[in-house]
Amino acid sequence: MKNKKSNSLFENGMIKNSIKQSVRKLDPRTMIKNPVMFLVEICTTIMAAVTILSIASKGSAVLGHFGYNLTVFIVLLITLLFANFAEAIAEARGKAQADSLRKTREDTPARVIRGNSETIVSSALLKCGDEFICEAGELIPADGEIVEGMASVDESAITGESAPVIREAGGDRSSVTGGTRVLSDHIRVKVTTKPGESFLDKMIALVEGAARQKTPNEIALTILLAAFSLVFIIVCISLVPMAWYSGTTIGIAAMISLFVCLIPTTIGGLLSAIGIAGMDRALRANVITKSGRAVETAGDVDTLLLDKTGTITIGNRRATHFYPVEGIDVDDFARLCLLSSVSDETPEGKSIVELSHSIGISIKNTETMGAKMISFSAETRCSGIDMPDGTAIRKGAFDTMRKITEEDGGVFPQIAQETIEKITKLGGTPLVVSLNKRIAGVIELQDIIKPGIKDRFSRLRKMGVKTVMVTGDNALTAAFIAERAGVDDFIAEARPEDKMTYIRNEQQQGKLVAMMGDGTNDAPALAQANVGVAMNSGTQAAKEAGNMVDLDNDPTKLIEIVEIGKQLLMTRCTLTTFSIANDVAKYFSIVPALFMAYIPQLAALNVMRLHSADSAILSAVIFNAIIIPMLIPLALRGVKYRPLGASALLRRNLLIYGLGGMIAPFIGIKIIDMIVGLCF
């Protein structure tokens, strides 16, 4: 999907559709979902009635002038449309991506196995438990698990990555997605989803916003904003008897304008857009979230569980040093290592060949002609080569090689033992090489830590997130890698149940935990974690258990998800701060203007020296309207996140958005007043 994503916030097609949706969203049944903007709509309706009545009133003090009322009505209507536009443009960005996904989901014929025969049916008729066959060039008709065979699969329609991936029966890479294409070989797949509940169907519903539900924080903030609005209803009503007592007449337009300006219309209009945009940013990072709550929770995560292999380390151990025993030359030992690895297709074996070549050791094909290659097996735990002259070279784990040597009457060299201990302490893996059942030396294999991973963990630490490395290595090796990578803690010799236990212990302490997994054995821990990220290449069980799916199959994506979640929370908080700060400034513009003529002492509050009461009120209403579209790009892109502590972030946001939110209206309202004052 990377190739389908646009960085542009506003595209012509989106803007046109969003404008149409802005008008449709004026339906009270839709507006009532947002209490603040629903109140603004009620005020707009009242102003429409007042505008009509003022035609015949001939300048009544209560009803006001027609031209002034009409202007206030239009500005309030624009305020509503701008708020609806913010939500509509956020939804449109998701719908644009959904359209491209629909093209991927086709009604594909499926070759279903019924008994011993093969039947072609529509993919829409496939049921859970059905089995179908796919060959090279065919589209996979439905989500499922490979039960037989192995194939190269093009998943670019889903992930945006052009490189094919290998999927095979058994293990953790058996899951396939409907809409992807088989490039080679032959597979038999068992359907694991019901019609309409496939991965693509869920994905489309989510990006469209059809399945979006308000998060707990969003609901809480909505209730708080509604409570604020009710308070200001009481405040505005109480001003009426105060005005009568002081001999002031407050017009309906002025009262409605005051109310609309004091309630938090800015954040009320942008709240939904912020939530939708948060999910959109996750999607643009190629992460499918099952709910906005998952993204929000990621922002509050305290502990992060990460597998060592593939996340912290590159995943393939590489040969870094050759250590011969006494009496054997380094070049001769390197030659033995090379010969023992010529038929070893594992990444470790290839790295031994590369290391040999890097120090100038090579062999000719003729030298191994007639030789017998010994492949690695779980039973023997070693591999190697038997040369035509009877020379036997073996390479394997040190305990296996020690056993082979001692059973033949040999002695395991002390220098080899010391070298093995040294390698283990440095977090490496030793491989012992023997020549005719006598130890020749040791190969050091090291897990290569991913470049820049230590800096990323440092960023997480500044965020207040604890990182925990999970590995099957022994405690000594795990401790060394943990120190080099910069993680805070580690779980050595980890089993699936150990992850579950650790997550539960952290949660009992009131912490939120996130983890990533891809196998069926990870499913319980993914379900237990507050944020569970499953890899798209993983099993169906893992994807169902987690509340997010990473389409890129990138284990480090968990770090990015946390940052996206924190950015969502920060954006909502900063814009709320800005909105409430706005209200303070608007209070100083409207209230003094209403009473200043009859209560001269209030002139001290008229710090902006506005033109008149009418221009002050109208300027505040206009500013209240235009600030919403000005903040839409910020709501969609999100506030730039910096890895600072909570107190530092609070100070920064209060300074920028709190103080800035108070200063901006003073400047904006004054400028608008200078223009409006020419007319009123």
- Please list the active-site residues: 307
- Report the alpha-carbon distance of residue 269 to residue 37 in Å, rounded: 7
Given the structure tokens 């009505």, which residue do they identify? 73
**DSSP notation for 388-428:** TTS-EEEEEEHHHHHHHHHHTT----HHHHHHHHHHHHTT-
- Report the alpha-carbon distance of residue 499 to residue 505 in Å, rounded: 10
Q: How many residues does the chain have?
A: 680
Structure tokens at 147: 């039960």
- Nearest CA to 429 out of 475, 397, 399 is that of 397
User: Are the CB atoms for 399 and 424 separated by under 8 Å?
Assistant: no
Quick one: which H or E segment has residue 102?
A: helix 66-104
Q: Which amino acid is at 350?
A: K
Sign of the CA dihedral 72, 75, 81, 84? negative
Neighbours of 12 (CB within 10 A): 8
- Report the alpha-carbon distance of residue 452 to residue 455 in Å, rounded: 5
- Nearest CA to 210 out of 95, 93, 84, 89 is that of 95
Structure tokens at 458: 């440092």
> Which residues share a beta bridge with 152?
166
> Which residues share a beta bridge with 323?
442
Nearby residues of 392 by Cβ (< 8 Å), 6 or more positions away: 384, 385, 386, 434, 435, 436, 437
- Report the alpha-carbon distance of residue 524 to residue 452 in Å, rounded: 31
Sign of the CA dihedral 69, 75, 76, 78? positive
**DSSP notation for 640-677:** PP----HHHHHHHHIIIIIIHHHHHHHHHHHHHHHHHT
Q: What is the DSSP letter of 163?
A: S
> Virtual CA dihedral for 613, 614, 617, 623, nearest 10 degrees?
-130
- Nearest CA to 266 out of 583, 15, 617 is that of 583
Report the interhelical angle of 66-104 vs 12-24 (nearest 10°). Answer: 120
